[in-house]
Amino acid sequence: MKLCDLLDEQVVKVRLDGVRKEEVFAEIIEVLVRAGRVTDRERALKAILYRETMATTGIGNGVAVPHGKDASVLKLAAALGISDKGIQYQAADQQPVYVVFLVLADKNNPGPHVQCLGEIARLLSVPGFYDRLRRCASVQDVLAAIQAEEQMAW
């Protein structure tokens, strides 16, 4: 699975407004709602918040990957947000988060969800990729960085 097949200009937000993780969850879910990828804002938010109660999705090194599953999500939905300010996230390393990949999936079809999380992990393991994302000044730059990295791997 390629992230560039899930992400486009409608679901990438550079310069997130929120500075707390709950604000960012709502902000990114709103992006998905406006793009028509999520139809039930409240259930999507509950799915993300529920998953967050199990363990932080702030994986460290400035990255968070909040994800959840709900029957209201008919097709895998993903969005990406980048913060200039840093997000108070209670990440594993207790440092602020700057890059947030949010993933929502149908709870009855976990396969694509797992594949998406795997591709995010793969991209983040590429030396310098996180830094390239942080330096992106526009949505187009973000998408180009992801597409370039995925083209090299595929």
Residue 113 known to be catalytic: no
**CA dist., res. 104 & res. 153, Å (int):** 24
Write down the catalytic residue from 13, 21, 67, 113: 67
| Residues tagged active-site | 67
